[in-house]
Amino acid sequence: MSSIPVRRTTRVVRATKDTENANTRPTRVGSRVKTGAATATSATTRATASTAASKAKAVLVTGKEEGGVKRKREALVEVTGLVTNNKLKDSGAAVGKGMEVEISKETITKLKPVIKPPTRRVVSSVVTRRAVKAATENTTASKAEQGAVITRKASVQHADKMMVGDYRKATLALNTVKEEDEDVKRVSKRRHTDVITAVQAAVLDDSQVEADKVAGDLEAVEGPSGAQLWDDLDTEDWDDPVMVSEYIADVCVYLKETELATMPNPNYMEKQDEMTWEHRGILIDWLLLIHARFNLVSESLFLCVNVLDRFLSQRPISISKLQLVGLASFFVATKFEETYAPSVKELAHLADNQFSVDEILKAERYLLKIINYDLRAPGPMTWLRRGSKADDCEVRARTIAKYLLEIGLVERRLISVVPSLMSAASLWLARVSLGREQWTPNLEHYTMYNEKEILPVANILLDYIITHPVQHDSLYKKYAHKRFFRASAYIQSWALELWPENGSVDLAKDVADIKEECQRVSVRVEA
C-alpha cells in the first residue's frame, strides 16, 4: 500500500439495493475533506478524519470494502490531471476520483515541459545575398574595382530616382483622368435621374390618385382663403408610439380602401331560397346574447356580422344550417380579435349541442375558404374612436353612438353603409340628442364627412328608433343597463318627443328646427 497522501477524499459508497438513489449526492464542499494519516489500519466505532481517509484510500487502491462489495465506478468522474513534485516520492502514486493511477519518476520526467533552444532566424532575402556577395567582393577586389562598383551603384540609384519621378508623374496624370471621368459620370447620372423624376411625375398610379382624392376630401373643410380651420390633434400624440401620429393619415387612407373591398352585397337575400331578413334578425339577436355573455370586445361582434354577410352574399344556405354558419362566423371573429377566445366546446354547448365540435370546425374551414381568408375588414369602432378624439372623448356621446352602431347590425337598410360613414352619423346623432348640435370643423375633418353626407344615414337610424323601439329586445336591454348610461332608453325618449311613434322622419327639413330646440335647451340649462 502506498503511503502518499490522497489529494481528494472520495465518498464511501455503502452496499444497498439501489446505489444510485440510496443517498443524496454530496456537495463539493463535503467531498473536499482533508485526509489523515495514511498508515491507519484499524477502524473504530467513531471514525475520525484519518480513518475515513484510509478507508477511502483502501477502496480506491484495492477496489474492495470491508463488506467485500466492489465499489462501482461512476459514469462521470473528475480526474485530477496535475501532480506537484513536492507531493511525490520515489514510489508515489497519484489517485484520481473514481480511477487508479500510478506515476513513477520516469513518468514525471516525461511530463516535464521540454525547453527547446531558441531557433535561429534564417533570413533568405535577395538584399541579404547581395550584401554578402558585395562584402566578399570588397575584400578581394582592388581599389579600382571598388571605385567602379561605387560608380555603378550611384548610377543605379540615379536611375531609380528618375523612375520614381516618372512614376509619380504618371500616377498624377492617371488620377486626373479618373477625376474627369467621374465628373462626366456624375453629370450623366444627374441627367438620367432628372429624366426618371419627370416620368414619375407625369405618370400616377391608381393608389396615388386615390390618395389625392382622400386628401382633397380632407382639405374640403378649409376656408376660401386656404386657411386651415381644423386643429391638428395628432401632434399631441407625437411621443406615444401606440398612436403612430406620423402615419395616421396613411393609415386612414388604407382603411378607407379596405372597407370598400370588404363590404357585403346589400341585396344578397335575393339569392337565398329559404331564409329571409327576419331569419337573419333572429340570428343577430342570438349572437348579441352570446357576445354579451362572454363580455367580448365590440370589434368581435362587428367582424362576426361582416363575415356572416359576406359568406351569405356568395353561398345560399338552408334554414337548418343558418345557426351553424353564425357559430362559425362568431368563432372565427373571436379568434381573430380576442386575447382569450371562447372554445369550440363552449359554443357547441350554447347551441344546445345541436352541432358537434367536428361540424363547427368543418363549417369554419369552409367559411374561411369562401371569403378567401380575408379578415381585414375595419369595423366602425376604429372610426368612432377617431372621431371621438375631436369631441374631447366625451363618454356619454360615445356610448350612445355605440348603441346606434349596433342598430346598424340589425337594420338591413344599413348593410350598404360603409363603417366610416356609419360611425360619423352615429356620433352626430348622439351629440344632437345631448344638445350639442354644432358639427365643428374638427369633427368634420376627423370623421371625414360633412353634415350633408351624414343626414341620410341618421334619418334611417331615427326611423328605426321610433318605428321599432323594442323590436330587437336583446339589443335594447343591453344598452338600457346603468353602465351604458341607459343609452337606448334615453335616445328613444328623446326621439319620441320630437316625432310620433311609427311616424315618418325627414331630417333634411327638420334639422334646422332641431338645432334651434337644442340651443333653447342649452340656454335654459346655463341659466
Q: Mind giving me the DSSP string for 176-237? A: HHHHHHHHHHHHHHHHHHHHHHHHHHH---HHHHHHHHHHHHHGGGS-TT----S--GGGGG
Q: What is the dihedral of CA 353, 356, 361, 362, to 10 degrees?
A: -130
Q: What is the pLDDT of residues 324-371, one digit of tens each?
A: 999 999 999 999 999 999 999 999 998 999 999 999 999 999 999 999
Q: Is the pLDDT of residue 319 over 60?
A: yes
Instruction: Determine the Cα angle at 440 with ends 436 and 446, to 5°.
Output: 115
Q: What is the overall mean pLDDT for the chain?
A: 73
Query: What angle, 0 to 180 degrees and rounded to 10, lies between the N-to-C axes of helices 380-389 and 395-410?
Result: 160
Residue 323 pLDDT level (bands cut at 50, 70, 90): very high
Q: What is the pLDDT of residues 81-139, one digit of tens each?
A: 444 444 444 444 444 444 444 445 554 444 444 444 444 444 444 444 555 455 555 54
The pLDDT assigned to 13 comes to 47
Contacts of 243 (CB under 8 A, 6+ apart): 234, 237
The pLDDT assigned to 166 comes to 52
Residues 46-72: what's their mean pLDDT?
45
Integer Cα distance of 299 and 335 in angstroms? 11
Cα separations in angstroms, 80 against 77, 230, 271, 337, 464: 10, 82, 87, 62, 91
Q: What is the pLDDT of residues 397-434, one digit of tens each?
A: 999 999 999 999 999 999 999 999 999 999 999 999 99
Question: What's domain 380-524's architecture?
Answer: Orthogonal Bundle (1.10)
Q: Is the pLDDT of residue 177 over 80?
A: no
The pLDDT assigned to 70 comes to 46
Residue 203 pLDDT level (bands cut at 50, 70, 90): very low
Of residues 82 and 468, more confidently modeled: 468
Contacts of 3 (CB under 8 A, 6+ apart): 38, 39, 89
Percent of the chain with pLDDT over 70: 55
Cα separations in angstroms, 511 against 108, 405, 422, 448, 451: 109, 21, 18, 20, 10
Percent of the chain with pLDDT over 90: 44
Residue 62 pLDDT level (bands cut at 50, 70, 90): very low
Residue 209 pLDDT level (bands cut at 50, 70, 90): low
Q: Is the pLDDT of residue 491 over 90?
A: yes
Contacts of 351 (CB under 8 A, 6+ apart): 323, 327
Dig out the grid coordinates for 505 from the structure.
322622419
Q: Is the pLDDT of residue 175 over 90?
A: no
Integer Cα distance of 179 and 80 in angstroms? 69
Helix (H) or strand (E) holding 336: helix 322-337
Contacts of 2 (CB under 8 A, 6+ apart): 38, 61, 91, 92, 93
Check: CB of residue 245 under 8 Å from CB of residue 235. yes
Check: CB of residue 380 under 8 Å from CB of residue 422. yes
Dig out the grid coordinates for 364 from the structure.
369554419
Residue 237 pLDDT level (bands cut at 50, 70, 90): confident
Of residues 278 and 99, more confidently modeled: 278
Helix (H) or strand (E) holding 4: none
Integer Cα distance of 248 and 257 in angstroms? 14
Of residues 469 and 52, more confidently modeled: 469
The pLDDT assigned to 430 comes to 95
Integer Cα distance of 454 and 322 in angstroms? 33
The pLDDT assigned to 254 comes to 95
The pLDDT assigned to 400 comes to 96
Of residues 149 and 414, more confidently modeled: 414
Q: Is the pLDDT of residue 448 over 50?
A: yes
Of residues 311 and 393, more confidently modeled: 311
Residue 226 pLDDT level (bands cut at 50, 70, 90): low
The pLDDT assigned to 236 comes to 85
The pLDDT assigned to 238 comes to 85
According to CATH, the superfamily of the domain at 264-371 is: Cyclin-like (1.10.472.10)
Check: CB of residue 3 under 8 Å from CB of residue 57. no
Cell 474627369, residue? 180
Check: CB of residue 474 under 8 Å from CB of residue 285. yes
Q: Where in the chain is the domain with CATH 1.10.472.10?
A: 264-371, 380-524
The pLDDT assigned to 15 comes to 46
Residue 502 pLDDT level (bands cut at 50, 70, 90): confident
The pLDDT assigned to 402 comes to 96
Q: Select from 476, 478, 454, 479 the least CA-distant residue to 465.
A: 476
Dig out the grid coordinates for 138 from the structure.
570588397
Residues 459-473: what's their mean pLDDT?
81
The pLDDT assigned to 183 comes to 56
Residue 243 pLDDT level (bands cut at 50, 70, 90): confident
Of residues 249 and 146, more confidently modeled: 249
Q: What is the dihedral of CA 136, 139, 140, 144, to 10 degrees?
A: 120
HSE-CB for 463 with a 13 A CA cutoff:
15
DSSP character string of 18-67: -TTTSSPPPPHHHH-PPP--TT-----SS--HHHHHHHHHHHHHHS--TT
